[in-house]
Amino acid sequence: MDKKKLGIKKKKTKEARNVEVKTYKRPPWVQSGEEELCSDCFKVVGDRSRYNLVCMLGRSKEGMTVSELTKRVQLRQPTVTHHLQVLRSVDAVASEDRGRMRVYKLNRGAHCFEECKIPY
Is residue 30 at the binding interface for Zn ion, with CB under 5 A as the rule? no
Is residue 38 at the binding interface for Zn ion, with CB under 5 A as the rule? yes
Is residue 87 at the binding interface for Zn ion, with CB under 5 A as the rule? no
Cα–Cα distance measured from residue 107 to residue 104, given in angstroms and rounded to the nearest whole number:
9
Q: How far is residue 69 from each of residues 5, 26, 40, 96, 115, measured CA to CA in Å?
A: 34, 24, 22, 15, 26
Residue 61 one-letter amino acid = K
Closest separation between CB of residue 103 and Zn ion, Å? 25
The residue range among 18-26, 49-57, 87-95, 109-117 that interacts with Zn ion, by the rule CB under 5 A, is 109-117
Among 69, 87, 92, 116, binds Zn ion (CB under 5 A): 116
Cα–Cα distance measured from residue 11 to residue 78, given in angstroms and rounded to the nearest whole number:
32
Is residue 45 at the binding interface for Zn ion, with CB under 5 A as the rule? no
Is residue 90 at the binding interface for Zn ion, with CB under 5 A as the rule? no
